[in-house]
Amino acid sequence: MGQPGATRGRGDTTVGKAMLNKYARAFFTRVLTPFAAFLIRRGVSPDTVTLIGTAGVVAGALVFYPRGEFFWGTVVITLFVFSDLVDGNMARQLGRSSRWGAFLDSTLDRVADGAIFGGFALWYAGNGNDNVLCAVSIFCLASGQVVSYTKARGESIGLPVAVNGLVERAERLVISLVAAGFAGLHTFGVPGIQWLLPIALWIVAVGSLITLVQRVVTVRRESAEAEEAARQSAGEAAK
């Protein structure tokens, strides 16, 4: 689910990075380096690890979440998040920088996001029996995709989209997954904790909407500035 830094040509923060602080990442990088080297010797590519990691996240979300098994679903998803460190480690060891890897990485991130929030929506549409929270989950899914699109589209037309949104991808996923994991403890007899997930989904929904507005406003401003700069350049050239 994502190679760090320039190794894979990615610039955005992945859920794996967000869930592990820099000290924990350094520790797990040292621990996972021999495993990454082993995979390389076996002919496994970083892209394969990315695909397996995404498949694990999708399975954890769509097998466990629709049945209300939020604790175990989150455990499975978290385990596969470590692929985010393994594939990046492999790519660094191989000295590869790949546009294809960056494209695959970003595309599969969206697949994983869709599975997680889709799993929540399926639960609330079924045994969770809450149409409002089902709608909120769907909104989180859709708004997350649109937030990512606005940045990608803005950058594709030559704008920097220089804004740090209130709730970006890492925040959306960490808030949702942590809340889901704790909410799942309700099945082990912890009272009242199941309300953490609905609260988290509302926070993500509102935060995503604010972030979307922030990015749209930023792109509009940067577009106007770029057009004005182009007109001034054309006027100077005509003199």
Selection from 235, 75, 215 nearest residue 155 by Cα: 215
Establish whether 9 is an annotated binding residue: no
Proportion of the chain in helix, strand, coil states, percent, rounded to 5: 80, 0, 20
Is residue 11's pLDDT more than 50? no
Is residue 159's pLDDT more than 90? yes
* Residue 25 pLDDT grade (very low, low, confident, very high; cuts 50, 70, 90): low
pLDDT of residue 207: 96
* One-letter amino acid for residue 3 of the chain: Q
Lowest mean pLDDT among 47-51, 80-84, 207-211: 80-84
* Residue 139 pLDDT grade (very low, low, confident, very high; cuts 50, 70, 90): very high
Establish whether 130 is an annotated binding residue: no
Establish whether 78 is an annotated binding residue: no
Selection from 104, 99, 103 nearest residue 48 by Cα: 104
DSSP 159: -
pLDDT of residue 23: 61
Establish whether 87 is an annotated binding residue: yes
Please tell me the pTM assigned to this model.
Answer: 0.85
Section 151-160 average pLDDT: 93
Selection from 111, 114, 116, 108 nearest residue 197 by Cα: 116
CATH architecture of 17-234: Up-down Bundle (1.20)
Section 195-211 average pLDDT: 97
120 vs 31, residue with greater confidence? 120
pLDDT of residue 21: 54
Section 68-77 average pLDDT: 97
Section 155-168 average pLDDT: 91
| Distance, CA of 237 to CA of 234 (rounded, Å) | 5
- 149 contacts 166 by C-beta, under 8 angstroms: no
Determine whether 130 is an active site residue: no
pLDDT of residue 4: 38
pLDDT of residue 225: 93
Is 62 buried (19+), middle (13-18) or exposed (0-12) by CB count in 10 A? Answer: middle
Chain-wide mean pLDDT for the chain?
87
pLDDT of residue 13: 41
Place of tokens 């997680």: 116
Out of 12, 109, 113, 130, the active site residue is: 109
Establish whether 12 is an annotated binding residue: no
Establish whether 187 is an annotated binding residue: no
pLDDT of residue 9: 45
Q: How far is CA 73 from CA 22, 78, 142, 215, 227, in A?
A: 25, 9, 21, 32, 48
